[in-house]
């Protein structure tokens, strides 16, 4: 349906009302003027008739035409004298003999009854409307009737002039009223247009805009209502924006991945953690089906199970990518706003990979501790049984067995001492910082070299120290010396006879770098990621023969972490190894 402007709906209504009013007033005025004109003509003719009656003799006698003409000259009207039986006895314009009987003319009939007779009708003789007034000839009975008549063409002509004046006035009033109606209509439509433009600005988001107050109560109330609505919308939108920002912030900072899917398993939204876990682009994945970018049967079965059963479900999901395997815990539930129908499902993914790795490390640690402790305990127990069964009576065997028991006990003590050291380092790192005053580094390194000097001399290994005297750092002298001793001891242990071990230190940027390098057998690449784990051994048989506990590198790692730094290794089979401790140089 075609739409029209409000102006062309209001203005025609106004115009029709104006025209109806003007026509009504004009018709009423014309009727009133016509009535007044005829009434005035009637009163004037009645006065003339009274005058003519007074000039008549008491009884009609003789020829009366001359009398009728004389009365017509005095009264200015046509005069007709009629006898009691209706016969015309005198006529001012025609001869009485040519006139028909007037007894039954309305005005004559009334006059014969002794009353004034008044009538107006079309006269075929004069061919115009004529006003008639008839009076009894005299008050005496048996007299005739005197009738005066006056053509109404002059009244009609005056009426026409008046009608033309009324029509022109009405037309002028209609034009003026139409113009005023147009101005009023335009004013109303301009106010409404102003309101419409304001509402459009509100709809476009310009909620700070305010409509001007109007001088009309209704439009002022509408403007106030729209301004109030805009203010409330602005407050609600600001609240929703804050809520949405808070929600996005919470979702973006969550470690768990969150995906919202519709009933057709299309992605509605996902947070950064979910995109990272699934290896997807959130913007590119929006609107796509889950299986289009994540072809994991376990994940798809979990979502479909919830959609079919309408119950929350959980499951463990394994994802494989270029990095390796990821173990995820998935929890899927219906996405159903309060009081509304279900619109999809909400999938929450928690990365359990690190937890599973820690569990594996814990299991390995327990197994390794059990194995490391069981070996010397078994050896001690075996030799003690041997001594109890009689070997104690053999001096040489008894001494040899006791020396083995002593070595195994020392090994047990070393393992326990290293475990206690690790426990103390972890407790210190978790609960209170390690005391690290500014300390020159070279004396610490010299003390560490002195501790392993005898072992290096036995294998004819050269220990090289490179550290400028001015180098210092925020270190705990006792702990750092222990870490360097462990690294130097390993370097000497795995270096060939006559080899060389280098210990160096220096400042690089804001970091203090310490390196221990050997030229020994090196480490296979598959072991590099685990050599700092507790009890992890690259060559288990050789490590135990050398008397190691398997905890030395783990202690080095925790000492570096307690200083706010870290440790790393670079190695290749047959090319030796370089262990690097990185510590903060200043606070």
Phi, then psi, of 64 in degrees rounded to 5: -110, 0
**pLDDT (0 to 100) of residue 574:** 80
Looking at the predicted structure, is the pLDDT value of residue 419 above 70? Answer: no
Tell me the pLDDT tens digit for each residue of 61-83: 556 777 778 877 777 778 888 78
Q: Of 41, 144, 24, 134, whose CA–CA distance to 83 is shortest?
A: 144
Q: What is the reported pLDDT for 544?
A: 47
Mean pLDDT over 478-493 rounds to 85
Question: What pLDDT is stored for residue 527 in this prediction?
Answer: 76
Q: What average pLDDT does the segment 274-282 reach?
A: 78
Encoded tokens for 345: 């499902």
554, pLDDT greater than 60: yes
* Cβ-proximal residues to 352 (8 Å cutoff; 6+ apart), any chain: 316, 327, 328, 329
Span of 32-36, 181-185, 190-194, 371-375 with lowest mean pLDDT: 371-375
Kind plus residue range of the DSSP H or E element containing 142:
none
Q: What is the pLDDT of residues 512-553, one digit of tens each?
A: 888 998 888 888 887 777 777 766 666 554 444 454 556 778
pLDDT at 431 over 60: no
Q: Residues in the chain, how many?
A: 587
pTM confidence score? 0.44
Q: Which range, of 57-71, 95-109, 350-364, 566-580, averages the lowest pLDDT? A: 57-71
Alpha helices for 338-394 (secondary structure H): 353-388
What mean pLDDT, rounded, does the chain reach?
Answer: 77
Calpha distance 297→312 (Å, rounded)? 18
pLDDT of residue 484: 87
Split at pLDDT 50, 70, 90, the class of 231 is: confident
Whether the CB-CB separation of 280 and 299 falls below 8 Å is answered with: no
Predicted confidence at residue 14, as pLDDT, reads: 73
Terminal CA-to-CA distance of the chain, rounded, Å? 79
SS3 readout for 20-33: HHHHHHHHHHHHHH
User: pLDDT for 359-415, tens place per residue?
Assistant: 776 776 666 666 566 666 776 777 677 777 766 667 776 777 677 677 667 666 666
pLDDT given for residue 541 in this prediction: 43
| Reported confidence tier of residue 16, pLDDT bands at 50, 70, 90 | confident
Contact of 119 with 141, CB cutoff 8 Å: no
Least confident of 187-191, 248-252, 273-277, 538-542: 538-542
| β-bridge mates for residue 81, sequence order | 90, 146
**Beta bridge partners of residue 122, listed in sequence order:** 129
Burial of 260 (0-12, 13-18, 19+ CB in 10 A): middle
The label of the residue with tokens 């309060």 reads 338
Reply yes or no on whether the pLDDT at 102 is more than 50. Answer: yes
For residue 144, the number of C-alpha atoms closer than 13 Å in the C-beta half-sphere is 23
The residue ranges of DSSP E strands in 321-458, in sequence order, are 325-335, 344-351, 438-440
Residue 241 has pLDDT above 70, yes or no: yes
Q: How far apart are CA 118 and CA 134, in angstroms?
A: 6
What are 258-273's pLDDT values in tens digits? 888 888 888 888 888 8
Distance CA 481, CA 573 (A): 28
DSSP category for residue 220: H
């Amino acid at each position: 349906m075609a739409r029209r402007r409000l102006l062309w709906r209001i203005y025609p209504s106004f115009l029709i009302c104006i025209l109806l009013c003007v026509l009504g007033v004009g018709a009423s005025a014309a009727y009133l003027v016509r009535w007044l004109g005829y009434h005035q003509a009637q009163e004037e003719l009645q006065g003339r008739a009274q005058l003519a009656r007074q000039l008549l003799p008491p009884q009609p006698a003789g020829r009366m035409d001359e009398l009728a003409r004389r009365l017509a000259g005095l009264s200015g009207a046509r005069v007709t004298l009629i006898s009691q039986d209706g016969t015309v006895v005198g006529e001012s314009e025609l001869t009485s003999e040519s006139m028909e009987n007037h007894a039954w003319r309305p005005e004559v009939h009334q006059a014969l009854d002794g009353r004034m007779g008044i009538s107006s009708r079309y006269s075929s003789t004069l061919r115009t409307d004529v006003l008639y007034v008839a009076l009894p000839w005299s008050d005496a009975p048996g007299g005739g009737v005197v009738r005066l008549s006056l053509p109404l063409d002059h009244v009609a002509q005056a009426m026409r002039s008046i009608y033309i004046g009324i029509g022109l006035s009405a037309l002028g009033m209609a034009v003026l009223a139409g113009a005023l109606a147009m101005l009023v209509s335009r004013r109303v439509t301009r106010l409404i247009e102003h309101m419409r433009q304001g509402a459009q600005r509100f709809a476009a988001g310009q909620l700070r805009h305010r409509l001007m107050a109007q001088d009309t109560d209704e439009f002022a109330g509408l403007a106030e209502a729209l301004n109030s609505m805009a203010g409330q919308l602005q407050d609600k939108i600001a609240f929703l924006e804050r809520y949405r920002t808070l929600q996005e912030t919470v979702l973006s900072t969550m470690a768990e991945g969150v995906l919202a899917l519709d009933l057709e398993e299309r992605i509605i939204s996902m947070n950064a953690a979910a995109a990272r876990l699934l290896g997807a682009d959130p913007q590119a994945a929006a609107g796509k089906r889950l299986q289009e970018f994540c072809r994991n049967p376990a994940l798809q079965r979990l979502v479909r199970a919830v959609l079919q059963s309408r119950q929350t479900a959980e499951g463990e999901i394994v994802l494989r990518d270029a990095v390796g395997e990821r173990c995820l815990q998935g929890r899927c539930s219906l996405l159903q706003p309060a009081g509304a129908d279900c619109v999809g499902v909400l999938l929450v993914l928690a990365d359990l990979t690190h937890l599973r790795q820690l569990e594996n490390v814990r299991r390995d640690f327990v197994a390794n501790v059990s194995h490391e402790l069981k070996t010397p305990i078994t050896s001690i127990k075996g030799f003690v049984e041997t001594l109890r069964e009689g070997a104690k009576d053999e001096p040489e065997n008894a001494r040899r067995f006791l020396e083995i028991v002593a070595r195994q006990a020392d090994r047990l003590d070393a393992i326990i001492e290293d475990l206690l050291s690790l426990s103390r380092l972890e407790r210190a790192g978790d609960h209170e910082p390690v005391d690290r005053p500014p300390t020159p580094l070279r004396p610490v390194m010299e003390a560490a070299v002195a501790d392993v000097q005898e072992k290096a001399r036995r294998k004819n290994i050269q220990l090289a120290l490179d550290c400028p005297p001015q180098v210092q750092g925020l270190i705990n002298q006792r702990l750092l010396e222990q870490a360097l001793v462990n690294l130097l001891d390993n370097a000497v242990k795995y270096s060939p006879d006559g080899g060389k071990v280098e210990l160096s230190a220096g400042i690089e940027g804001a970091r203090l770098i310490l390196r221990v390098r050997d030229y020994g057998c090196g480490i296979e690449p598959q072991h590099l990621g685990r050599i700092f784990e507790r009890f992890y051994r690259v060559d288990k048989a050789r490590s135990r023969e050398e008397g190691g506990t398997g905890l030395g590198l783990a202690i080095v790692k925790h000492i570096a972490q307690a200083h706010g730094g870290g440790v790393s290794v670079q190695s290749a089979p047959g090319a030796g190894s370089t262990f690097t401790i990185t510590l903060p140089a200043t606070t």
